[in-house]
Amino acid sequence: CAIPTLRLNNGVLIPQLGFGTYKLPPDQTRDLVLCAFDAGYRHVDTAQMYRNEREVGQALAASGLPRAEVFVTTKLNNAFHAHDAALAAFARSLDALGTDYVDLFLIHWPLPALGLYTQAWAALEEIAASGRARAIGVSNFQPAHLERVLETGTVVPAVNQVEAHPYLRQDEVRAFDAAHGIVTQAWSPLGRGTVLGDSVIADVAARHGVTPAQAVLRWHVQRGDVVFPKSAKPARIAENADIFGFALGEEDMAAIDGLNRDGRTGSHPDTEN
């Protein structure tokens, strides 16, 4: 089944499923991204921090896919929030990716103690205005950080990419995003694997004849979020994309909703610096 798209607040369409590339083995990244393209993915999530933009770019080139058919996201690394540093880092990303535009460029972390994210946002607005990013957004922003961006900026972020999965539902952040027309992207949608052994998820999966990973990814998609699970195993890469031929019922959704807890696997946005 075809991968659905969501319309961002500036009209750009984003495939609701993508391929995550954090911590893929560097020497296999090119081939694994090509494997994802073979499995039907048309959206890749990378970052300056992952040090694999060049390999992602090599896969893009080797795939032979028209550039317009692939949605590419990358992210500004933490050292480059100052205005000119952000512009220079973005230019390096384009060079590494071998493309003259990205579909989405994000501020990776707000780093509130540094206090430069509104300056970084101004740089991203310039990049968007130049046409070299079709959309711009943020990652790991709490509502308080987004409020400052909304106050000081002129463009509303298209997305907010945050850790979210059944053990970290992120109700507050998602409600704030939705109220402002910001699409939520769920990073570590499988909780880095931590949620996959849960008996509630196993039961939901069994009822639909799917795997736990497929049940969890389907839950995300039905909540309306964008997901980009990561796997370095071709069979799992294909499995994770095969989630559009079944639907969870209200009871299944409620059962997975009920697993919410303080299950953060990554850094907290207020303290990461």
Residues 166-225 within binding reach of ligand NAD (CB under 6 A):
187-193, 196, 211, 213
Residue 249 in contact with ligand NAD, rule: CB under 6 A? no
CA–CA dist 266, 253 (Å, integer):
24
Helix (H, G, I), strand (E, B) or coil at 259: coil
CA–CA dist 46, 57 (Å, integer):
10
HSE (side-chain half, CA atoms, 13 Å) at 72: 31
> How would you list the strands of the sheet with 19-20, edge to edge?
19-20, 43-45, 71-76, 102-107, 133-139, 159-163, 183-187, 226-227
CA–CA dist 162, 267 (Å, integer):
11
**Residue 177 has which token pair?**
């995003």
**Residue 30 has which token pair?**
């090119």
Among 112, 239, 243, 248, binds ligand NAD (CB under 6 A): 239
Among 77, 146, 228, 259, binds ligand NAD (CB under 6 A): 228
CA–CA dist 18, 69 (Å, integer):
13
Degrees, nearest 5: CA angle 221-163-104: 70
Residue 230 in contact with ligand NAD, rule: CB under 6 A? yes
Q: Residue 55 or residue 239: which is nearer to ligand NAD going by CB?
A: 239
Q: Which helix (H) or strand (E) holds 64?
A: none
Among 78, 99, 140, 160, binds ligand NAD (CB under 6 A): 140
Catalytic residues: 50
Rounded to a whole number of angstroms, the minimum distance from the CB of residue 51 to ligand NAD is 13
**Window of 58-66, 84-92, 144-152, 226-234 that interacts with ligand NAD by CB under 6 A:** 226-234
Residue 16 in contact with ligand NAD, rule: CB under 6 A? no
Rounded to a whole number of angstroms, the minimum distance from the CB of residue 26 to ligand NAD is 13
Q: In the block, which residue shows the tokens 């807890």?
A: 261
Residues 20-49 as x/- pattern, contact with ligand NAD by CB under 6 A: xxx----------------------x----
Euclidean distance between the first and final Cα of the chain, in Å? 41
Residues ≥6 apart with Cβ < 8 Å to 67? 60, 99
**What is the amino acid identity at position 250?**
E
**Residue 62 has which token pair?**
């080797």
Residue 101 in contact with ligand NAD, rule: CB under 6 A? no
Q: Residue 90 or residue 228: which is nearer to ligand NAD going by CB?
A: 228
Q: Does 165 carry a binding-site annotation?
A: no
Among 171, 178, 266, 268, binds ligand NAD (CB under 6 A): 266
Rounded to a whole number of angstroms, the minimum distance from the CB of residue 192 to ligand NAD is 4
**Residues at the annotated binding site?**
108
**Residues at the annotated binding site for substrate?**
108
Q: Which residues bind ligand NAD (CB under 6 A)?
A: 20-22, 45, 108, 139-140, 161, 187-193, 196, 211, 213, 228-231, 236, 239-240, 266
